[in-house]
Amino acid sequence: MGLPSTALVVVALTGMAIAQPSLASSPEGPGEPQPDRPTQAEALRLEQGSAQWWQGFEDAHLDALVEAGLSQNLDVRAAELRVAESEAAITQQRAPLLPRVSWDSTINLGPTASLGFQFGGLPSGGDPNAEPPPDVYWTGSSVLNVSLELDLTGRRVLDLRASRDDRSAARAEHASSQVTIASSITQAYYDLVAARARLRVVDEQIATVEALVELTQQRLADGGARATDLLQQRQQLASTQTLRPQAQAQVRAFSQQLAVLLAESPDTQHESADALPELLLAAGAEDAELALDRRPDMVAAEHRVRAAERREKVARREFAPSLSVSANAGIQAFAISEVSDQWYWGAGASLSVPIFAGGQRIGALRQREAQTASSRNEVARVRLEAQRQVADARAAQGERLAIVEASLAELEVAEQTYLALRERYFEGDADVLNLLSALTSRQQAELNLITARRDLITAHIDLQRALAPATT
């Protein structure tokens, strides 16, 4: 091998061996070399069941994105509006417990001749010189009316309490939507970090293969390589270059997903960390059943049960009599030739005893009973699903942590193999294709490690989603 070829080998291969691929924050290409992998003491110790659990990643970019998502996301906003609807429903259910007050005024006009027809005719005789009555008369009244239904059976109070349970359920569902969105944003964020990392590794692999193609061309010119070697190198370069559009597509997809979660244009770009975090997962000291009781969806389901039970009681009490009282006071007036007016008042009570309504009340009761049973069944379903989620996420954490460790071992062996073949290549005792194969294996091991770490983060996010209480 001539001096130019030897120099190129030293520059290309030594540099590739020393530089550890960094996880780029943008898809343009390789970044600066990253420091060595953190020790266990430097890794993040993530606790379980915390309200703001994502802050355990110690990533300012992520914290800002989650904060923005909790205030901007359209699903969270819809949940907020449902809380407002429940507040309005409480106002409506409170109304029957308060008096109904109205001021009613009326005025009526009619032909004076109609009065004679109604009351046997206008009186005849009298003063022949008196002016005839006007053609039109009027009557009017202005009355203050007050009525109140006496809640003898307490059904109106139960309706009010049921609407308050609905409000509590709506608030819990709002909190549940926040947990879901925080988890989704965190997942999309680290998917984006991993996708950018893969793109950088692919770019480094392309640069490596291009350098080896150039090296092989010079060796061919010097008589140290065969034409088939160069063709194989070019074929591998073309194959490697096809990976870049795939990696770019992943970056674009996760970037758009993150933007949509933030209620932004899909083309919006966000900064991210340069590397996936090293996780040191802390075992949850809190009892899982206690944590499940604090889950917003469990809280919401429990409130729905209480609301359904109260409405079932209301349906039963619809068979009881109802009593209401009323009072009024006002003035009434009558005018033909002269105006006559009179103040008056009145009071009364009304008792209604239900006897037959075509089965409406019994049908309503059966409907409420079924709704109560359904809401209790929903509590059991939510709890069982939550237990499954916790069990799956905890098992996945252990499994994926083992995969991370195996990927680290794979990368270590691949690195050692590459360094050994590089040394042999310099000594003229190894073929360049073997060296390239070892380098490709090392880069594939890096991709495997990125995927394994991303999957471990996903398992942690799933566990947080299963255990986390309300975020606010």
Give the tens place of pLDDT for each residue, 411-448: 999 999 988 987 887 666 777 778 778 888 888 898 99
pLDDT top residue among 164 and 472: 164
Give a yes or no: residue 171 inside a domain. yes
The reported pLDDT for the residue numbered 4 is: 39
Give a yes or no: residue 23 inside a domain. yes
pLDDT of 24 higher than 50: no
Mean pLDDT of the chain: 83
| Rg for the chain, CA atoms, rounded | 40
The reported pLDDT for the residue numbered 129 is: 65
Give a yes or no: residue 119 inside a domain. no
pLDDT top residue among 2 and 332: 332
Residues 247/199, Cβ–Cβ less than 8 Å:
yes
Residue 171 lies in domain: 3-93+155-317+358-467
- 148-153: which pairs have CB atoms within 8 A and are 24 or more residues apart? 148/98, 148/99, 148/100, 148/324, 148/325, 148/326, 149/96, 149/322, 149/323, 149/324, 150/323, 150/324, 150/325, 151/96, 151/97, 152/320, 152/321, 152/322, 152/323, 153/317, 153/320
Query: Exposure of 222 by Cβ count < 10 A (0-12 exposed, 13-18 middle, 19+ buried)?
Result: middle
Token couple for 74: 């359209």
Q: How far apart are CA 143 and CA 79, in angstroms?
A: 45
pLDDT of 216 higher than 60: yes
The reported pLDDT for the residue numbered 260 is: 95
How many distinct structural domains can be found in the chain? 1
The reported pLDDT for the residue numbered 117 is: 52
Residues 22/275, Cβ–Cβ less than 8 Å:
yes
Question: DSSP assignment, residue 155?
Answer: H
Give a yes or no: residue 101 inside a domain. no
Of the pLDDT bands very low, low, confident and very high (cuts 50, 70, 90), residue 15 is very low
Closest CA to 336 of 122, 118, 105: 122
pLDDT of 401 higher than 60: yes
Closest CA to 164 of 367, 310, 333, 356: 310
Mean pLDDT computed over 381-392: 92
Give the tens place of pLDDT for each residue, 143-160: 999 999 999 999 999 999
Of the pLDDT bands very low, low, confident and very high (cuts 50, 70, 90), residue 48 is low
pLDDT of 6 higher than 70: no
**Least confident among 280-284, 315-319, 322-326:** 280-284
Token couple for 147: 């009525």
Give a yes or no: residue 182 inside a domain. yes
Give the tens place of pLDDT for each residue, 77-124: 999 999 999 999 999 999 999 999 999 999 999 888 777 655 444 455
Mean pLDDT computed over 344-352: 95
Q: What is the CATH number of the domain that holds 423?
A: 1.20.1600.10
pLDDT of 67 higher than 50: yes
Cα→Cα distances 104→324, 325, 359, Å: 20, 18, 36
What percent of the chain is modeled with pLDDT above 70?
A: 82
The reported pLDDT for the residue numbered 209 is: 81
The reported pLDDT for the residue numbered 320 is: 94
Residues 460/276, Cβ–Cβ less than 8 Å:
no
pLDDT top residue among 288 and 454: 454
The model carries a pTM of: 0.78
pLDDT top residue among 221 and 97: 97
Residue tagged 């989620």 (tokens) = 389
pLDDT of 128 higher than 90: no
What percent of the chain is modeled with pLDDT above 90?
A: 57
What is the maximal distance between C-alpha atoms in the chain?
A: 147
Residue tagged 């890096």 (tokens) = 446
3-class state of residue 102 by DSSP: strand
Strand ranges in 151-293 using DSSP code E only, listed in sequence order = 279-281
Residues 472/175, Cβ–Cβ less than 8 Å:
yes
Give a yes or no: residue 143 inside a domain. no
Give the tens place of pLDDT for each residue, 179-188: 999 999 999 9
What lies within 8 Å, CB to CB, of 151 at 6+ separation is: 96, 97, 157
Residues 222/1, Cβ–Cβ less than 8 Å:
yes
Give a yes or no: residue 140 inside a domain. no
The reported pLDDT for the residue numbered 124 is: 52
The reported pLDDT for the residue numbered 470 is: 61
